[in-house]
Amino acid sequence: MHRGARLLAPLLLGVLMLNISAAPGSQNRSAGPSTTPNSPPTLDRETIIRLKIFLDLHSFGPGEIDDHWTDLCASALQLYQTTNGNGASGIDPELKQELTSLTPLYIDYQIKPDDMAWVGKSPQKPAAQAKRKFMPYPSIADFVAERFHTNLSFLAKLNRGKNLSKLHPGDAVQVPNVPPLELSGLKEADDVPPRPELQARHVEIDTKSKTLTITDGGKILAAFPITPGSRQLPAPVGTWQIVKIATLPWFRWDKAMLLHGKRSGDFHNIPPGPRNEVGLVWIGLNKKGIGIHGTNNPDSIGRSASHGCIRLANWDAVEVLNAVTKGVTVEIK
C-alpha cells in the first residue's frame, strides 16, 4: 500500500480563523528518552535508512528518517509485520528483498520561489510570537527537512560540502525519496467539513507504546509515533470522539492551561504556521482542551512529555487529518 493511494488526497480548505485553548505538546518537559532501544539490532546504516523509508511509504511512521535506529522504528516495524500477517519477524529474507528493491533511495529537490513564503522570523517567546502574523520555518533548510520527513543533521549528511544556511530558490538538495509534506493545499480553516464516508474509522492511542493507529473494519490502515501527555497532565484514558478539525490553527498560549489544565486570563494568541506550538493541524476531542495535533519540534516525538494532548510530527498529523473526520471514535489507553 503506497502512500499515494493509502488514505485520502490532501484537502483544499477555505480561509477561517481558530482560537484554540489546549494543552499542546511542544513544551518540552523531559519524560526520559524513549527512542534509544534497549536491544538495538545489528543493522548497517543503509539498512536502517531503507527500513525507515519503507515503513514511511507504507503508512507505519518510523519517526524522523535518518540513519539512527530508534524504538519508534522498532515499534513501527513490529506493527507493520503483525498487521500484514508476518509476525514480528524482524528483517527476514522477504523484507530484506523489499528493502533492497527500494530505488532511488534519494532524490534531488529543487527549491522553488514559493517555498520561501514558509520561511521567516520565528520568535521563541509567546509574547513575541503573538505580535507576528505567521509562525514560519526559521530557515529554508528546516522547510526542506520537514517536507521530506527528516532532520537538519541527516539533511547535512546527504549534502556534505553544501552550506544549508545559504540555500536559495533554484538550488537543489538531496532528500529521502518519500512523498513530501504538501503545504500548498493547506489553508487556515477553523472547522473542516465532515466526511461521512470516514465515520466508520477508529483511532486508537496507546500511551505505552506511543503509537496512534487508524483502523477501518478492524484493519489497520496507518500507524504513527506520538508523544502522549505527561505525568502531571496525562492523556485522558477513555473513549472520546472527534468534534472539531482545523488546519493552520491559531493557538491560545496560556501558562495555567499548560501547567494545570485550567484556563486563565493571562494568555497570548499565537498565529498559525508550521512553528506554531500545535503545528499544522488540530483535531479536537470532546474532552475540553485535548486534541491530536502537530508540533513545532518533530525531534521531540516519542521523547518529551506533552501537556495532555496527542502530538505528532507535522507530516504525520497531516496524514491523520486526511484519514479521519468529525464523529470518529478515539480510544486512549
pLDDT higher than 90, residue 78: yes
Q: H or E stretch including 3?
A: helix 3-6
Contacts for 241 with CB less than 8 Å, ≥ 6 apart: 285, 286, 327, 328, 329, 330
- pLDDT above 90 as % of the chain: 69
Give residues with Cβ within 8 angstroms of 16, minimum separation 6. Answer: 188, 189, 190, 191
The residue with greater pLDDT, 266 or 309, is 309
Q: Is the pLDDT of residue 179 over 90?
A: yes
What is the rounded end-to-end Cα distance, in angstroms, of the chain?
27
Cβ(150)–Cβ(298) below 8 Å: no
Is the per-residue pLDDT at 176 higher than 70? Answer: yes
pLDDT digits (tens, 9 = 90+) for 262-301: 665 667 889 999 999 999 999 999 998 899 999 999 988 9
Residues 42-61: what's their mean pLDDT?
96
Query: What pLDDT does 87 receive?
Result: 80
pLDDT tens-place string over residues 228-255: 976 677 889 999 999 999 999 998 866 6
Given this model, what pLDDT does residue 17 score?
A: 35
> Residue 298 carries which side chain, given as an amino acid letter?
P
pLDDT of residue 88: 78
pLDDT at residue 31 greater than cutoff 90: no
Q: Where are the domains of the chain?
A: 15-29+187-332
Residue 19 has pLDDT above 50, yes or no: no
Outline where DSSP puts E strands in the chain. Answer: 19-21, 29-30, 106-110, 172-176, 201-206, 211-216, 219-225, 227-228, 238-247, 250-254, 267-270, 281-285, 291-293, 304-305, 310-311, 329-332
Predicted pLDDT at 253: 64
pTM: 0.86
State the chain's mean pLDDT as an integer.
86
Q: Does domain 15-29+187-332 fall into CATH 2.40.440.10?
A: yes
pLDDT band at 90 (very low <50, low <70, confident <90, very high): confident
The pLDDT of residue 262: 63
Query: Per residue in 200-222, pLDDT tens?
Result: 999 999 999 999 999 999 999 99
Rounded average pLDDT over 3-7: 45
Q: What is the mean pLDDT of residues 90-106?
A: 94
pLDDT band at 11 (very low <50, low <70, confident <90, very high): very low
Q: How confident is the model at residue 5 (pLDDT cuts 50, 70, 90)?
A: very low
Model confidence pLDDT, tens digit, residues 113-145 = 999 999 998 888 988 999 999 999 999 999 999
Amino acid at 259: L
> What is the DSSP code string of 262-274?
---S-EEEEPPST
Question: Does position 35 have pLDDT exceeding 80, yes or no?
Answer: no
